[in-house]
Structure formats: structure tokens, C-alpha cells
Amino acid sequence: MGMPITVEVLDRKTNLDIFEKVYSYFNEVDTKFSPYKELSEVTKFNNGFTKDISSELKEILESSSVTKKETDGYFDIYKNGFIDPSGIVKGWAIYNASKILKKNKLKNFYIEAGGDIEVSGKNKNNQNWIVGIRSPFDKTEIIKRLSLTNAGIATSGIYERGNHIYNPHHLEETIRDVVSLSIVGPNIYEADRFATACFAMGPKGLEFIERLKGFEGLMIKRNGEVASTKGFYKYEMDWWFFE
């Protein structure tokens, strides 16, 4: 997937076979959905081989279509006639990996891929998992620490990969006002599919999240201003805890 993947499981009954299943699944996703691999199904689809596509690609295409409608067109995997489902596949894959762990009756785990995270149960201290939101201006600084369990958090931004997110309604425009947007949702799949779209909305993205039931968001603007939805505070940890 072109990114590091971390899986931490705290249940005593875990074993190496389960980790191998999870990483094997991520490799399968990369092989199938990478728009950069010549033999991937996405590449073949973009080259006109649209018959007999897999159930997984059908699911992604359908989910992308639904997300496009829900976000008033701000989420769109089509660009110049080709698809790039990266904005939805990562969260979908992490969520499916979490289901592999749960199917094996594991309850306490953390899965992270490229900054998108799914957490379940408790951490090694039998507390909620602590997840940090990094400053887009200083990679060594954590500006918020969140307490999460049974949830997903996805972050979209331009500070790692440059301007790779665009506004589908105005392709010629560069998103300048916002540098980072994080969304907490019931799982990483749901959080991730909205994160990119809300970032593309610019400052209005936070208003969109505010209207989503079960979601909270935090936005960092280019001028350094930090804004969040009304309920985001319930995830924030007190700074004194870390002093």
C-alpha cells in the first residue's frame, strides 16, 4: 500500500498466524486496488476491462457512488475518466482487517495504516487507546491527544504528500485554507470515506461533519487556527496527564 502498517493485539490468545492473515489481507488489497500496479484490477478497469469485476471492486464502486451523493459530489474517485479509489480503500481495508481479528475473538487491538486508525477495547493499561493528532507544521509535535475505544480516526492533509487532494467542482483550484482535517467515527471505514471529501470542502468541511450523526472533527488551518465540532472535546485528554 506504499505505507507502513502497524497492528497491535493485546489479547493473550493471539498468535502469529492471525498476524499473517491480517498482513496477507493487506497485501491482497494492495495487489487488487493499487492504481500504480500494472496488473492490479483497478489498472485493468481503467484500461477498459470492466466486465466480470470482483465483488470487492463492485463494493468499492458502489460505496464511492453513495459517498459522492452524500457529500454533494465532493468525494469522487473518477478523474479524467479513470478511477483512483485510494481515498476509500485504505479505511475499508483497515476495517476489514479489524473484522478478521474480531472473527478470531480478539477484542483489544490497534490497527494503523498511513495515519488512519481503528481501535478496539483497551490498551495495555486497561484504558482507552491514546491517539495523537500531529501538527502539520512540526512533525515532532502532537497538538491533541485523544482517548478512543471502538472507533476509527482518519486524517486528510497536504503536509505529507503535498497538494494531492482536489475539489472536484473546481479542479483548477488549490485547497489553501486547510492543512489538516481529522474525523472520529464509529469505525475507520466510515471516518475515512468522509475525511477526504470534507477536506476538499475547505473551511465548510467542519460544518458538514457537524451535521453527521456519530462523527466529530478537528480542522487545522494554514494560519495555525484550530477548530473542532461541538462534541469533539469528549475525546480530548487533559494535558496534565502527560506532564
Q: Which H or E run includes 117?
A: strand 116-120
H helix runs in 83-240, sequence order:
86-103, 188-200, 205-210
pLDDT at position 176 is 72
pLDDT digit string (tens) for 16-69?
A: 999 999 999 999 999 999 999 999 999 999 999 988 999 999 999 999 999 999
Q: Which H or E run includes 45?
A: helix 41-46
pLDDT at position 73 is 95
pLDDT at position 3 is 82
Question: Do 180 and 155 form a contact (C-beta atoms < 8 A)?
Answer: yes
Query: Quick count: other Cβ atoms within 10 Å of Cβ 178?
Result: 26
Domain 5-242: give its CATH superfamily. Answer: ApbE-like domains (3.10.520.10)
pLDDT digit string (tens) for 155-180?
A: 997 655 544 566 666 665 666 789 99
**Percent of the chain predicted with pLDDT > 90:** 79
**Single-letter code of the amino acid located at 28:** E
Q: Which residues contact 64 (CB under 8 A, 6 or more apart)?
A: 75, 76, 77, 85, 88
Q: Which H or E run includes 61?
A: helix 55-70
Cell (9 digits) for 222: 494554514
Cell (9 digits) for 210: 457537524
pLDDT at position 168 is 64
Report whether pLDDT(241) > 50: no
Shortest CA distance to 175 belongs to which of 200, 196, 197?
200
Give this prediction's pTM: 0.91
Report whether pLDDT(239) > 50: no
Q: Is 177 helix (H, G, I), strand (E, B) or coil?
A: coil
Average pLDDT on 198-219 reads 95
